[in-house]
Structure 1
Amino acid sequence: MDYSPRHGRILTLLGEEGTIGVSELAQRLDVSVETVRRDIKALAGRGDIVRMHGAIGLPSAVSEAPFERRMRENRQAKEAIARLAASTIRDGESIMLDTGTTTSILARALLDHRRLTVVTNSSDIARTLATVNGNKVYMAGGELRSDSGAALGFSAIEFVNRFSVDHAIISAGAVNAVTGVMDYDLEEAQFGQAVLARGRRRVVVTDASKFGQKGLVRVCALSDFGEMIVNRAPPDDLAEALNRAEVAVKVCA
């Protein structure tokens, strides 16, 4: 079947990454979102791709577990965010991380660090950083989600409330100027709140596909954290709201 050069580029990107957000795809192709949506409609009509909420994927990738699929979405942006976040953490410091694809990728960016103390509810993060380079890893207990392998609920929150750490870092399901940081799961939102309360430095890491989204459950107000690490500058309304809340926005190269 014949494809336009841009359609071929879309399929090549999906072959490399499995899934990708619509806004991220438009940026990487240097075209408008409207143009990308027309391309998506054509490719989906042929059965070459599958449309998801705010993203597209190859049919083979969509059969992956949801957490594994999200790990592939906007992967380059998340890796750039993770590298910048890791550069702000020194050997020997303590970190608390919630479950999320960006924080899981951050854990991989910390593999060259030494003697870290890590507190998390994510079995993926715990496996990544435990038993290497003299690290100490403490994992919250509780019911493990079959999707993400994260411990959630009252016992997980009670556990992390015993700690005070240098860096409390959470991921975000959505960020907007009015409601702040939001998620799509109540227990994950409650755990994110608990993490931010335990850090001397409070950081939200998120890729630009979450800007302007509303989510379902509020995690925190913009004034409840001090830094946001992103791959692209926020839109004007969100940037203004972050500035009013005295949040330092760090944009990765």
Structure 2
Amino acid sequence: MNAQERKDYILDILKKNHSVKILKLSKELRVTRETIRKDLYELEKEGLIKKIHGGAVLDSSNQETDYERRKGEYQEEKTAIAKQAAKHIEEGDTIYLDYGTTTLALAKEIMNFKNITVITNTIPIINLLLHSEDINLLIPGGMLRKNEDSLYGPFASNNLQNIFVDIGFFGCGGIDDEVGITNHHMGETMISKEMIHHSQTSIILADHSKFGSIAFNRTAMFDEIDIIITDEDLSSETYEKISQKGVEIYCADDE
């Protein structure tokens, strides 16, 4: 296999799995790790990937799909995750709903909850909860990211500096047992990081497709979060690996 064939192979793997490890590629392609590093370097120069410690991920501009498209993906799984997540919310709670389509699914589950306060910077969640009479809605504001219908940036960060919540619910772009929780957009990730540390309980909402993937930048390590809620299609092997990090995992079914 020549260099171009190797690079095509690497890109095919990335499109399927979103991340690759140098050591694994070296074994699969029967070449040295240095050869793989050179291939990754060239792919990064072409703007196709981003190198990370020990491997690579697709360039974020190539990897991420827009919000409207993602809403239609894994709908049953997201609904099951949302129903499980809603069980953690009690009357009188103040909660933070982070960016993402799974947090939107959770917002749909809590529309009729009474006496809760919701803090969010996601426009579809704001629109959904706007007329819920028994929900107090706090919108920190910020710069509008149009393709994601989200608000982020220094203005949002400043307004959240002194805000603390009972539970924070967070989406993600990937969960890897070595790298941790990652996401696509650096500006949104900065807000997520801040609110993880401002939440008494931090809960990650992620369907099974997010596991084994690494997005552009890290949101949190496992010791910074409390719970991960996913769907029943998570493999037992992955469940065991993540559980060993000290995180409680709920696998919601879609019944």
1:80-229 superposed matches below 5 A: 80-229=80-229
8 Å contact kept, 1:84–1:252: yes
Separation (CA, whole Å) in 1 of partners of 2:221 and 2:177: 9
TM-score, scaled to structure 2: 0.70
Letter in 2 for 1:144: L
| SS of 2:147 mapped into structure 1 | coil
Deviations 1:52-106 (A, max 9, x none): xxxxxxxxxxxxx921111001111001100110122112211011110000111
CA displacement, residues 104-151 of structure 1 (integer Å, 9 cap, x when unaligned): 111011112112101111121112123313211111211111112211
1:232 maps to 232
Higher mean alpha-carbon deviation, 72-81 vs 159-168, is at 159-168
Q: Which residue in the other structure is 1:78 paired with?
A: 78
The residue identity in structure 2 corresponding to 1:113 is F
Match of 1:251 in 2: 251
Relative contact order: is structure 1 or structure 2 higher (C-alpha 8 Å, sep ≥ 6)? 2
Measured in 1, the distance between the counterparts of 2:107 and 2:183 equals: 21
What secondary structure sits across from 1:200 in the alignment?
A: strand
Tell me if the contact between 1:169 and 1:195 (Cα under 8 Å) persists in the aligned partners: no
**8 Å contact kept, 2:112–2:134:** no
Change (3 A) 1:70 1:115: same
Is 1:211–1:235's contact at 8 Å kept on the other side of the alignment? Answer: no
Q: Identical aligned pairs, as a percentage?
A: 25
Tell me, what secondary structure is at the counterpart of 2:146?
coil
Task: Classify the secondary structure of the residue corresponding to 1:132.
Answer: coil
**Once superposed, what is the RMSD of the aligned Cα atoms?**
2.0
Q: Which moved more, 1:145-154 or 1:235-244?
A: 235-244
- The answer (yes or no) to whether the contact 1:97–1:195 under 8 Å persists in 2 is no
Task: Report the Cα offset of residue 225 of structure 1.
Answer: 0.3
User: Partner letter of residue 94 of structure 2?
Assistant: S
In the alignment, is the contact (CA less than 8 A) between 2:116 and 2:135 conserved in 1?
yes
Q: Which amino acid aligns with 1:176?
A: D
Distance 1:238-1:188 versus aligned 2 partners, 3 A rule: farther
Contact preservation (8 Å) 1:179, 1:221: yes
Unaligned runs of at least 5 residues, structure 1 = 1-21, 24-64
Partner of 1:45: none
TM-score computed with the length of structure 1 as normaliser: 0.71
